[in-house]
């Protein structure tokens, strides 16, 4: 194992500070104090050289240094040095860029004027495998995750499920009301039929659709043909 | 003028826990519990109340795979969901987060953090352990690939 590899794996990884702005570089450097050995670069060419040659544990990257800048710079840098954890710093943090950066493999995204003691805390957390982003980015992360998961499910349904077509118009009305959370009494009132008739409809519906409980029916109606659970599980 | 309270529905099949959550929230002036649900079916039905926050026992979605949360979100898109998890595996919590939950709370932490989690999630933020964020990002990166 080379010296630089050893250093990368130890608790004091080499940190590359990359920014065209010397004041910013020295501010970040001061924040890290003696906790991490530091190597400064001010230009793209020097950054690339340092990434390939030094196998740094962490890269603090000012988004304005690279061209293309911001999140777009991350994939190429990761190729140069796959083990380096990349933190993007920017004067104008925004959720969109933060999301792109994380998706591209960055481990941190924060304001370039981050308080020095926080910067050090961030690097320590990142060294332990955590991700460092502003709090407000997390709900956005979850929204994006949910939306991509939904899209993935829509793109590959288990099988097109047209079972609702087996129901009569009246049965469909009952099924939809169940999907809306109505109990039998409410359904009876709504459709002006007796409670007994409602129950009979439900029995038929269960039989026609192959369900044996109300929740499964309700989920099927609400989710449409995208239900993941089209079988008892 | 006082801020409007955050409305909550508690969905849990365990009566003792429902009661204790009620007690923990009832004393807060800025939180109002609209109702309770004892099953997945009742939780789905309770979306009619359009609560801002739904406290959902993770085991209520057991057996329904990935269907209960999307159905809740579809019925009431404005409702934000906090999963209450016992010894649920991280994978199940992550699945819940993938299907629309915006937070999760361990049952042991309810007493200390329930009200806070409700306020945080109710105001648009998320309530997840920092340690889980790398797994969330990992799933996101794989889906986006």
Contacts of B77 in chain A (CB under 8 A): none
Homologous superfamily, domain B6-144: Response regulator (3.40.50.2300)
Q: A128 in contact with B at a CB cutoff of 8 Å?
A: no
The DSSP line for B78-131 is T-EEEEEESS--HHHHHHHHHTTEEEEEEGGGHHHHHHHHHHHHHTT--B--GG
pLDDT of residue A229: 46
Q: With an 8 Å Cβ cutoff, is B142 touching chain A?
A: no
Judge whether A96 is closer than 8 Å to chain B, CB to CB.
no
**A66 and A128 fall within a common domain:** yes
> Is A63 in the same domain as A118?
yes
| Whether B18 contacts B36, CB under 8 Å | yes
Asked, for residue A7, whether it belongs to a domain, the answer is yes
Structural domain including A110 reads 3-140
Q: Is A149 on the interface with B (CB under 8 A)?
A: yes
| Boundary residue ending a domain (A74, A109, A140) | A140
Q: What is the domain count for chain A?
A: 2
Pick out chain B residues at pLDDT < 50: none
* Tens of each residue's pLDDT in chain A, 233 residues: 555 555 445 568 999 999 999 999 999 999 998 889 999 999 999 999 999 999 899 999 999 998 888 899 999 999 999 999 999 999 999 999 999 999 999 999 999 999 999 999 999 999 999 999 988 899 999 999 999 998 887 777 666 678 888 899 999 999 999 998 899 999 999 999 999 999 999 999 999 999 888 999 999 999 875 554 443 33
Q: What angle do CA A222, A223, A229 make, to 5 degrees?
A: 120
CATH no. for residue A51? 3.40.50.2300
On chain A, the residues whose CB falls within 8 A of the CB of B54 are: none
Looking at the complex, report in whole angstroms how far the Cα of residue A126 sits from the nearest Cα belonging to chain B: 10
Tokens 């961030």 correspond to what residue?
Answer: A122
Does residue A16 sit within a domain?
yes
**Whole-number pLDDT of residue A174:** 95
Nearest to A138 among B40, B99, B128 (CB): B128
> A102 and B45 in contact by Cβ < 8 A?
no
**CATH code, A216:** 1.10.10.10
A94 part of a folded domain:
yes
ipTM confidence: 0.91
Strands A58-62 and A15-18: parallel
Residue A233 domain-assigned (yes or no): no
Question: Do A133 and A180 fall within a single domain?
Answer: no
Report how far residue B22's alpha carbon sits from residue A143's, in angstroms, rounded to the nearest whole number.
Answer: 28
CB distance A228–B65 less than 8 Å?
A: yes
Tell me the domain boundaries of chain B. 6-144
Distances (CA, A) of A146 to A194, B132, B135: 41, 16, 14
Q: Do B134 and A131 touch (CB under 8 A)?
A: yes
What confidence score (pLDDT) does residue B64 get? 74
pLDDT 10s digits, B95-125: 999 999 999 999 999 999 999 999 999 999 9
pTM, whole model, 2 decimals?
0.84
CA max distance for chain A: 82
Task: Give the three-class secondary structure for A2.
Answer: coil
State pLDDT tens for residues A3-28.
Answer: 555 544 556 899 999 999 999 999 99
B44 contact residues in A (CB cutoff 8 A): 181, 215, 218-219, 222
Q: Decide if A158 touches B, using CB distance below 8 A.
A: no
Residue A153 lies in a domain: no
- Burial of residue A161, with CB atoms counted within 10 A of its CB: 0-12 exposed, 13-18 middle, 19 or more buried: middle
Instruction: Find out whether B126 and B81 touch, Cβ atoms under 8 Å.
Output: no
- Name the DSSP letter for residue A83: T
Of the candidates A175, A220, A169, A221, the one whose C-alpha atom is nearest the C-alpha of residue A202 is A175
Decide which of A140, A175, A205 is a domain's last residue.
A140
Token pair, residue A133, equals 């982003």
């Amino acid at each position: 194992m080379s010296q630089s590899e050893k250093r990368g794996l130890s608790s004091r990884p080499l940190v590359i500070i990359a920014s065209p702005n010397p004041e910013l570089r020295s501010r970040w450097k001061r924040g890290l104090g003696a906790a991490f050995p530091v190597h400064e670069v001010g230009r793209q060419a020097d950054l690339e050289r340092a990434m390939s040659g030094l196998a740094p544990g962490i890269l603090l990257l000012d988004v304005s240094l690279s061209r293309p800048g911001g999140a777009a710079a991350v994939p190429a840098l990761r190729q140069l040095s796959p083990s380096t954890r990349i933190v993007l710093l920017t004067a104008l943090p925004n959720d969109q860029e933060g999301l792109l950066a994380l998706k591209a493999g960055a481990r941190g995204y924060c304001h370039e004027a981050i308080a020095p003691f926080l910067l050090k805390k961030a690097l320590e957390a990142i060294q332990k495998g955590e991700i460092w982003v502003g709090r407000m980015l997390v709900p956005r992360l979850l929204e994006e995750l949910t939306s991509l998961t939904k899209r993935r499910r829509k793109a590959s349904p288990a099988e097109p499920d047209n079972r609702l077509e087996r129901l009569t118009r009246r049965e469909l009305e009952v099924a939809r009301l169940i999907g809306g959370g109505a109990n039998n009494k409410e359904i009876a009132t709504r459709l002006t039929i007796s409670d007994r008739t409602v129950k009979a409809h439900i029995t038929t519906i269960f039989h026609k659709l192959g369900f044996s409980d109300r929740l499964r029916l309700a989920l099927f109606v609400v989710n449409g043909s995208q239900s993941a659970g089209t079988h008892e599980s | 003028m006082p801020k409007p309270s955050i409305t909550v529905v508690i969905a849990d099949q365990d009566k003792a826990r429902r009661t204790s959550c009620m007690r923990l929230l009832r004393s807060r002036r800025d939180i109002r519990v609209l109702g309770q649900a004892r099953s997945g079916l009742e939780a789905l039905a309770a979306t009619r109340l359009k609560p801002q926050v739904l406290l959902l026992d993770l085991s209520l979605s057991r057996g329904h795979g990935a269907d209960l949360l999307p159905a809740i979100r579809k019925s009431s898109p404005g409702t934000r969901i906090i999963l209450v998890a016992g010894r649920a595996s991280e994978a199940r919590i992550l699945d819940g987060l993938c299907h629309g939950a915006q937070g999760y709370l361990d049952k042991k932490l309810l007493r200390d953090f329930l009200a806070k989690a409700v306020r945080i999630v109710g105001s648009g933020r998320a309530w997840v352990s920092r340690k889980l964020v790398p797994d969330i990002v990992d799933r996101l990166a794989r889906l986006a690939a």
